[in-house]
Amino acid sequence: MAKVGNTMAIPLKYNIHNLFVRKVTTGLTVLGIGLVVAVFLSVMSLAEGLTRVFQVSGSKKNVLVLRKNSQSEVQSGITREQVPLIITLPWIERDADGSPLASSELVVMLNLEKIGGGTANVTIRGISEKGSLLRPQFKLIEGRMFRPGLSEVIVSRSISQRFKNCRLGDTIHFGVYRWNVVGIFDAGGTAPDSEIWTDVEGAMNDFKRPNYSSVLVRTIDKTAQDQFIATLAGDPRLALEGKLERTYYEQQTSTAAPIKFFGLFIGVIMAIGASFGAMNTMYATVSARTQEIAMLRVLGFSRLAILVSFIIESVFLALLGGILGCLFGALAIKLALSGVTGTINFTTFSEIIFAFRLTPQLLLTGIVFSLFIGLLGGILPASQAAFTKIALALRRVG
């Protein structure tokens, strides 16, 4: 018979077998950890969905022209006299008829009533003729495009589902203003899905605005893009700056930071609670197996081997909870949280609409999160097991 060495690891099947001996206790602990992981994943998928909206919005070829040092289009202003100086620059791409692919735009906030109650600020964007061409994700799915000068708007599908009087054929009321909804569009989960579009000149007349908010242009290539931006920055007469449209939206991902912080904070609090649950289970396991632990020490297994064995047992218990939590989280998002939701964009103070997004990376994070719970909940009981005195443990039998 081979001699048992002090450094020999206790077989893994021993730990797995002991978990299933106490099915009720194990099941309740796994369920508790699973629910914690599911809640954590739900909150983090909320932040992930919001972040994705900004990351995929905008075109790499587009440049957004704003007043210098403006943080958003709402804070910006571009005069009518400045627009020709911008769109006649040679680095702008031309369409089939030779006109520049550029859109002078106005951004205004409307406070509208939600279908489910309450109100929120919604962006109404006045665009020029080329505005929709500059946004490749745009697709008109119902009705028709608005006609200039007739107080007509097209509304994103997400807005039409969340706000009153925003469906096809409805009339949007805001103070003394009225706009007829003549079309519904989809923008592929990008920022325009949180907007209402109308004719820019009509919007400027309605809101008595003398200036545009921004000008969106498509540049010929990367070199032209750099030259266009440098020319704007170097002309003191304009006091304007060009930002890559993709960069502009990526800078707004800070909106997701409070949600991520909230998710982590809630996750940590719940993880501590779940760790106590795992700890209680492991303490009960150690107490019930005092004789077994003593016999393992008699057979020559070291304290380190026993310590590692019980930590592995606790981590495996948490791993089962993590897998269950990932299943719960995926089901919750698919069945109960599959629609769109919204939150405040802290850059523009308007509602940004997005969907929950559970990615493989988040699922992996959920598994790691559960392992952390198991490790935290297993260290103290494992230490108690490892340092159990053999003589006292054997006397406790009977």
Per residue in 350-375, pLDDT tens? 788 888 889 999 999 999 999 988 88
The runs of H, that is alpha helices, within 104-175 are 157-162
Cα distance between residue 146 and residue 166, in whole Å:
14
Is the model more confident about 259 or about 169?
169
Sign (positive or negative) of CA dihedral 178, 184, 189, 192: negative
Q: Is the per-residue pLDDT at 47 higher than 90?
A: no
The strand pairing partners of 174, in sequence order, are 177
- Return the pLDDT at 375: 87
Average pLDDT over residues 13-41: 80
The residue behind tokens 């599959």 is 338
Residue 174: its pLDDT value, please?
82
pLDDT of residue 15: 67
Q: Is the pLDDT of residue 398 over 50?
A: no
Mean pLDDT of 81-89: 93
Average pLDDT over the chain reads 85
- Would you state the pLDDT for residue 2? 36
In sign, the C-alpha dihedral spanning 60, 61, 63, 64 is: negative
Residue 42 has pLDDT above 70, yes or no: yes
Q: How confident is the model at residue 325 (pLDDT cuts 50, 70, 90)?
A: very high
Q: What is the pLDDT of residues 70-79, one digit of tens each?
A: 888 989 999 9
Name the pLDDT band for 290 (thresholds 50, 70, 90).
low
Q: Is the pLDDT of residue 4 over 50?
A: no
pLDDT above 60 (res 395) = no
pTM of model > 0.85: no
Q: From CA 41, how far away is CA 264, in angstroms rounded?
A: 10
Whether the predicted pLDDT of 168 surpasses 80: yes
